[in-house]
Structure 1
Amino acid sequence: MELSVTTTLRFGSQNHFSPLPLHISTKLNNKLRNTTTLTAKKKSTIEGISDELNTIASLNLDFAPSRRKVRDAFTQLQHQLDHFLFKTAPSEIITEEWYERNSRGLEIFCKSWMPEPGVPIKGALFFCHGYGSTCTFFFEGIARRIAASGYGVYAMDFPGFGLSEGLHGYIPSFDDLVDDVIEYYTKIKARPEVRDLPRFIFGQSMGGAIALKAHLKEPSDWDGIILVAPMCKISEGMLPPNTVLKVLTLLSKMMPKAKLFPYKDLSELIFREPSKRKLAVYNVTSYDDPTRLRTGMELLSATQDIESQLQNVSAPLLILHGAEDKVTDPLVSQFLYEKASSMDKTLKIYEGGYHGILEGEPDERISAVHNDIIQWLDFRCSR
């Protein structure tokens, strides 16, 4: 086992909610209706692009056809952005994009990155993206670098995110979302090119919660788990006050799709480098509106469920976290490291790092994080 950084553990108790009396909830409901938008917040103009592209970017992204149109319009521009991930991305990678319907009838966007011909494949990596992200854009550069090191990389946009069907940013059931991931990746693991290779699941932020729940549902199906700033418990500073949460719990049953969860612009908490923060607006299909009520409550419920099962995490485990992350608490990663029953587990805390250590840090740090992932994979695939 390796523990790169040790910190003092301070772990708060869970919040427990009790229903409010109906007359109180009705008053607060009416107040929220009058003061909080139920639709998308107004989108800012993206500087330095044409009026035509800004018009396309301002489309209502609730449904997949609009998101796909926007992504098609921005793809070429995205690859030309001045970001370390795009400038250094290996070009000789075999990529494939496709759609397939899941068992619930939703059309899911899928993508793969494979090493160039002649490079032996050491293992397969299956990515789970974060809540405000997609499986393309920044991850494109990350996947290319990992693929160039000899790994098949696979990813999907979750239902309601990116280019997949479903209401934008809406998670009616976190468990269904996890089942969607298990269903798709089970198909991929049966492909001839990766069937007999080590398989690893890789989750960032909310994707870390999905990766953990996928492992907890099928403990023997993965040869390792990589977690970057995992959402095992939402930081106290990111949660609304308890009284507001009680109201939101009730309203989530009455109007689950409404965008009523208090909105915070997280870009300054995700990207440490301002120049990289400015480029986040070009991920034009990411969800950047107030959280839908049902989604917010499902995320809270998922973290509480994961917290109660951390001792059941048994696969080889790599946890990476920025020490200054204010979105998901690095102390929770420390708690996960200590509670997990995995015999092979590694925790790396990066001094000064924010939430987006894969894409929002100085170039040297981003490269170091990627190298840490690849070295961890190489060691476990060379046994």
Structure 2
Amino acid sequence: MPSEAESSANSAPATPPPNFWGNMPEEEYYTSQGVRNTKSYFETPNGKLFTQSFLPLDGEIKGTVYMSHGYGSDTSWMFQKICMSFSTWGYAVFAADLLGHGRSDGIRCYMGDMEKVAATSLAFFKHVRCSEPYKDLPAFLFGESMGGLVTLLMYFQSEADTWTGLMFSAPLFVIPEDMKPSKAHLFAYGLLFGLADTWAAMPDNKMVGKAIKDPEKLKIIASNPQRYTGKPRVGTMRELLRKTQYVQENFGRVTIPVFTAHGTADGVRASPMVFLSEVLKKSLA
């Protein structure tokens, strides 16, 4: 029979590893993946951003990729896997925690002004894009989920020849009907003259669980110490509703190549694929 102390030790939850890949030291892990990682902070008029770069250890750099993560996430957990993949393909990769996310400044997961959020990340991306040795290389914007929406807003804020192409992974361009915030709730909170904008008071529809089906991946995502787990903020949902409608009405302004990847079982973001298919049909008509 195990002792009481042994039983308590066996029933105690395991301490989560410090990184999504486990306990291997960061520098050692990055080297094993063939990349060199740096971390820093970038000052902007809207606040300080936590930024990262992922550069290939060997070979010539063929281009640059500027990457934005999704809602409630950051650049220091599983999102790095995508960044490192591009780096091993020969690209210099730069990523920033969105304003209000991860280790960047701002109210946690408050996106009440998405144009401001986009402009803040864009300030860092353009700073790198225009610097040596990257200014003459092809440059791509990449956005995942809500980061796709922010990425498209960055494109609309940029000069015409700034970017070579746009890449999206399951972009949030359309909110499915069963995921849309209640108009009655938004109207009621609106009567408070903005006082409720930062309140974490909107229903939580468990978007991550509907978008990702792999249970092991969900466990890793849930263990992210930087991840926002509170209810959506009033201003965030209001702005998502407004800006998804805006990009639907303005997608025709995109004049550079676009690549979009999407999972067929994604229960949150299937609608954007229908939307993008319709856009493509119209452009080919």
Where on the TM-score scale, by shorter chain, does this alignment land: which range? 0.7 to 0.9
1:266 CA displacement? 2.8
**Could you say which residue in structure 1 is the equivalent of 2:233?**
292
**Could you say which residue in structure 2 is the equivalent of 1:65?**
none
Indicate whether 1:183 and 2:149 are aligned: no
1:142 CA displacement? 1.9
Unaligned runs of 5+ in 1: 1-45, 54-73, 82-86, 345-383
1:88 CA displacement? 10
Deviation track 1:290-346 (CA, whole Å, cap 9, x = no partner) reads 011111111111111111101112210001111222212x342232244269989xx
**Could you say which residue in structure 2 is the equivalent of 1:223?**
164
Contact 1:228–1:319, Cα closer than 8 Å, also in 2: yes
**Aligned mate of 1:323, from 257, 261, 264:** 264
Distance 2:235 2:112 in 1: 6
Equivalent runs, 1:372-383 vs 2, <5 Å: none
1:77 CA displacement? 4.1
Unaligned runs of 5+ in 2: 1-11, 24-28
Tell me: CA distance 1:47–1:327, structure 2 relative to 1, closer, same or farther (3 Å). farther
**Could you say which residue in structure 2 is the equivalent of 1:378?**
none
**Aligned mate of 1:196, from 133, 136, 139:** 136
Choose between structure 1 and 2 for higher RCO, CA contacts under 8 A separated by at least 6 residues. Answer: 1
Equivalent runs, 1:358-377 vs 2, <5 Å: none
- What letter corresponds to residue 180 of structure 2 in structure 1? L
Equivalent runs, 1:208-357 vs 2, <5 Å: 208-218=148-158, 219-251=160-192, 253-328=194-269, 330-339=270-279
Q: How does the TM-score come out when normalised to structure 1? A: 0.65
Distance 1:249 1:321 in 2: 34
**Could you say which residue in structure 1 is the equivalent of 2:8?**
none
**Aligned mate of 2:65, from 117, 125, 136:** 125
Equivalent runs, 1:9-20 vs 2, <5 Å: none
Distance 1:143 1:115 in 2: 11
**Could you say which residue in structure 1 is the equivalent of 2:110?**
170
Q: Which one is further off, 248-257 or 91-100?
A: 248-257
- What letter corresponds to residue 236 of structure 2 in structure 1? T
**Could you say which residue in structure 2 is the equivalent of 1:113?**
54
Distance 2:124 2:91 in 1: 18
Distance 1:256 1:227 in 2: 29
**Aligned mate of 1:97, from 39, 58, 66:** 39
Equivalent runs, 1:149-168 vs 2, <5 Å: 149-168=89-108
Equivalent residues, number: 268
Indicate whether 1:148 and 2:114 are aligned: no
Query: What's the secondary structure of 1:78's corresponding residue?
Result: coil
Distance 1:239 1:80 in 2: 36
1:274 CA displacement? 1.1
Distance 1:237 1:166 in 2: 29
Query: What's the secondary structure of 2:14's corresponding residue?
Result: coil
Q: Quote the RMSD (CA, aligned, Å).
A: 2.6
Q: How does the TM-score come out when normalised to structure 2? A: 0.85
Contact 1:207–1:230, Cα closer than 8 Å, also in 2: yes
Deviation track 1:123-170 (CA, whole Å, cap 9, x = no partner) reads 100001111211121122221121011000100011210011111111
Tell me: CA distance 1:88–1:274, structure 2 relative to 1, closer, same or farther (3 Å). farther
Distance 1:228 1:252 in 2: 36
1:184 CA displacement? 1.1
- What letter corresponds to residue 184 of structure 2 in structure 1? T
Tell me: CA distance 1:88–1:266, structure 2 relative to 1, closer, same or farther (3 Å). farther
